[in-house]
Amino acid sequence: MLQQISVFVENKAGRLCAIVEALNEVRINIRAMNIADTVDYGIVRLVVNDTEKAVATLKEKSFTAKVFDVIAFTIPDKFGALHEVIKVLCENNINIEYSYSLMGKNQSEAGIVIYIKDSEKTAEAGRVLKEAGVNLITPEDVA
């Protein structure tokens, strides 16, 4: 299962830079990033090529980092493609908590990460999307 790292940051200049810098130093490749924000703080969500190493690095730098399972898939850059996938989830009564984009495997396709709160539901989502022929992104794909 693909994993995402969530990092707590105070909403002030320099904090995102510190995260990225820490990962740069150990040559971690960031494949996707999303920031959820409030007035005082935010959560930086990352998909990287080596989750374990990235988490260890961040913890060493005193960041609060936690790993979550996510589902990611690619869709072709054409009309109706997203609907095809979301419809499957909808039909199975699976709720998406949040979502963001990541690199597709080539220029004619988009990658999408979705987070589903419940781990059983996450596994179920992976299964139903696979059965529907959706092209899932694996950890190996981002490594």
CB of 26 to other proteins, least distance (A): 19
Query: How many CB atoms sit inside 10 A of residue 12's CB?
Result: 10
Q: Which is nearer to other proteins, 29 or 64 (CB)?
A: 64
Q: Provide the binding-site residues for other proteins, judged by CB under 8 A.
A: 6-10, 15, 36-38, 40-43, 62-66, 68, 97-98
CB of 111 to other proteins, least distance (A): 21
Helices (H) and strands (E) in the chain, counts: 5, 7
Q: Which is nearer to other proteins, 37 or 77 (CB)?
A: 37
CB of 22 to other proteins, least distance (A): 13
CB of 63 to other proteins, least distance (A): 7
Structure tokens at 15: 């904090």
Q: How far apart are CA 91 and CA 109, in angstroms?
A: 24
Q: Which is nearer to other proteins, 40 or 120 (CB)?
A: 40
What stretches of 1-143 show up as alpha helix (H) in DSSP?
15-25, 51-60, 81-91, 119-131, 139-142
Chain centre distance of CA 109: 17
Q: Which is nearer to other proteins, 64 or 138 (CB)?
A: 64
